[in-house]
Amino acid sequence: MLFDSLEFLLFLPAVILLYWIIPHKFRWLLLLAASYFFYGSWKAEFLVLIMYSTIVDYIAAIQIDKAVSQFKKKAWLIVSLCSNFGVLFIFKYFNFFIGSRSFFQKFEGAHPKVEWLTSFLEYGIPVGISFYTFQTVAYTIDVYQGKVKPERNIGKFALFVSYFPQLVAGPIERFSKLHHQIFKKHTLDYDKLQKGFRLILYGMFIKMVIADNIAPIIDPVFDNPLLYSQGDNTISLLLFSIQIYADFHGYSLIAIGVAKLMGVNLMDNFRTPYFAFSIKDFWSRWHISLSNWFRDYLYIPLGGNKVSYLRWVANILIVFIVSGIWHGANFTFIIWGAIHGLMYLSEQMVVRAKILELKGAFLKGLGFIKTLIVINLAWLFFRSDSVAKAYLSICKMFGAEPTNETYLSIRDVEHAKSHEAIEGILAGGSFEAKTLVFNSIYLIPLLFLIGMELLIQQKRFDGVVDKFPFWLRWIIYGLLIYFVMAMSGADFYQFIYFQF
């Protein structure tokens, strides 16, 4: 059930209406049922995993709180970490580490005990597993560190884990911030309802009009970069940069808006990241909840910056590479994370050495351009199906001639799927060149988005629009509704971050 689907547009009003009609003491039960229905709408089998994670962390947190000795507390924490990351590893990373699913299938006859695993993996990656895993792990660690007390009602804890507005793609909320809001007795607040609908409308516009119209334009280019010119490959990369921003930012705004309709304030996950002046600045604006999670639960436990210089360098690289792996089991994501890590380190080395400070419009402008170039080059690996395809895209963009030997070598190392059309062209076969086709009418909503983002800066759409005159607000609402009704993409595309 996608946020921009007809099913969700029927589901949401029913939930919101019932939420405000029924007595407060029953609201959490409604939300729990709605959240499980929402998650089960993808595949009912996935409910087993989220229930398993819920039960394990519910028990572990209570046992940690009850334990007197540090040994028992740590033992239960390890149980939680191993259980959660074990399930995540099996479903998301198992095939990556063994090369391919066929590895296990070779042994099915001799070892029938593994048949259940290979058949289970056919279900694919459970939607949002990385998000709710990180959220429950953070809860258990916070209980272990004495920051929060465990929830004793398993049903209420299950709602914290599965709260549907932010279940499948964040933001990754902390127990201390989200839990009390869900169970607080809310009164109907017109201002929150108004802001919620604003955010949903703007999020739908960004997702359905911007992201969903870009997807079919650039997908063929990334599937076979050799068929397109240098310019088309470069434009496709820039368009993907817009697509992923619009896709994820649109989702985040819808999630925040939906929660606000029920009186809950979710954290901002975006603050105009493409206006950043450095990689450090970028990560303080992009996917903020994930950045905070890695800072608090990986970087600081590793020692942060209170260690030797070499340890600090290692800590930074570990965090960024793990961040890449979190996004997906592919060498492309590892390289994407490594690029960000190396750029972050190079910037911090300059700052530490006091070689250059980004003061003044000119230097800030250079920092902005440099950051945007690095981010876009890194997106190339993020978007490519394999490092081998990324190699082809890089060659096309920079006017180099890719070789069949290099392509096949990279493909074999990463165990990427073969691509007959690409391999045929590299082997000297004939092909028909294609041209990127983009309807210029979509420049209108794109320019509208850029204009709004320039106005918003590090604030949020609902807060900025709230200060506009009444007549201007309704002109903006009218434009957004028109864009969504008249210019939405012909096909529904799943939010990119749902796969993580």
The tens digit of pLDDT for each residue in 407-436 reads 889 888 887 788 878 888 887 777 788 888
Please report which confidence band the pLDDT of residue 75 belongs to, taking 50, 70 and 90 as the band edges.
very high
Q: Is the pLDDT of residue 125 over 70?
A: yes
- Active-site annotation holds for 327: yes
Residues 397 and 349: their CA atoms lie apart, in Å, by: 30
Q: Is the pLDDT of residue 364 over 90?
A: no
Please report which confidence band the pLDDT of residue 103 belongs to, taking 50, 70 and 90 as the band edges.
very low
Average the pLDDT over 358-371 and give the result: 81
Percent of the chain with pLDDT over 90: 62
Average the pLDDT over 470-494 and give the result: 82
Q: Is the pLDDT of residue 221 over 80?
A: yes
For residue 122, the model assigns a pLDDT of: 63
For residue 490, the model assigns a pLDDT of: 61
Higher pLDDT, 229 or 493: 229
Which tokens is 94 given? Answer: 């198992």
The residue from 179, 249, 327, 419 that is catalytic is 327
Residues 47 and 340: their CA atoms lie apart, in Å, by: 35
Q: Is the pLDDT of residue 358 over 50?
A: yes
Range with lowest mean pLDDT among 54-58, 91-95, 340-344, 402-406: 91-95
Contact 352, 310 (CB under 8 A): no
Which tokens is 411 given? Answer: 């493909």
Average the pLDDT over 251-255 and give the result: 92
DSSP SS3 for 93:
helix
Residues 349 and 296: their CA atoms lie apart, in Å, by: 22
Residue 233 phi, psi (nearest 5):
-65, -40
Percent of the chain with pLDDT over 70: 90
Average the pLDDT over 366-371 and give the result: 90
Closest-CA residue to 170 (of 47, 87, 72, 252): 252
Q: Is the CA virtual torsion 119, 389, 499, 326 positive or negative?
A: positive
Average the pLDDT over 86-104 and give the result: 70
Alpha helix (H) ranges present in 353-386? 361-383
Residues 460 and 201: their CA atoms lie apart, in Å, by: 13
| Site of tokens 């932010």 | 166
Please report which confidence band the pLDDT of residue 191 belongs to, taking 50, 70 and 90 as the band edges.
confident
Q: Is the pLDDT of residue 101 over 50?
A: no
Alpha helix (H) ranges present in 145-229? 154-162, 175-183, 190-204, 212-223
Going from N- to C-terminal start, the domains of the chain cover 6-185, 188-230+240-267+437-500, 272-394+404-411
Please report which confidence band the pLDDT of residue 102 belongs to, taking 50, 70 and 90 as the band edges.
very low
Contact 135, 172 (CB under 8 A): yes
- Render pLDDT for 433-469 as a digit per residue (tens, 0 to 9): 888 888 888 899 999 999 888 888 767 787 788 888 8
| Site of tokens 């994370």 | 337
Q: If you average pLDDT over every residue of the chain, what do you get? A: 88
Please report, for residues 89, 223, 293, 414, 456, the alpha-carbon distance to residue 125 in angstroms, rounded to integers and kept in the order given: 10, 22, 22, 20, 35
- Render pLDDT for 270-302 as a digit per residue (tens, 0 to 9): 888 999 999 999 999 999 999 999 999 999 999
For residue 382, the model assigns a pLDDT of: 95
For residue 100, the model assigns a pLDDT of: 47
Which tokens is 169 given? Answer: 């793609």
Which tokens is 437 given? Answer: 């086709």
CB atoms within 10 A of CB 191: 10
For residue 233, the model assigns a pLDDT of: 95
Closest-CA residue to 65 (of 133, 141, 162, 132): 141
For residue 107, the model assigns a pLDDT of: 47
Q: Is the pLDDT of residue 18 over 60?
A: yes
pTM (two decimals): 0.89
Average the pLDDT over 38-50 and give the result: 91
Please report, for residues 352, 406, 418, 460, the alpha-carbon distance to residue 388 in angstroms, rounded to integers and kept in the order given: 36, 8, 10, 39
For residue 500, the model assigns a pLDDT of: 53
CB atoms within 10 A of CB 133: 25
Which tokens is 167 given? Answer: 């279940």
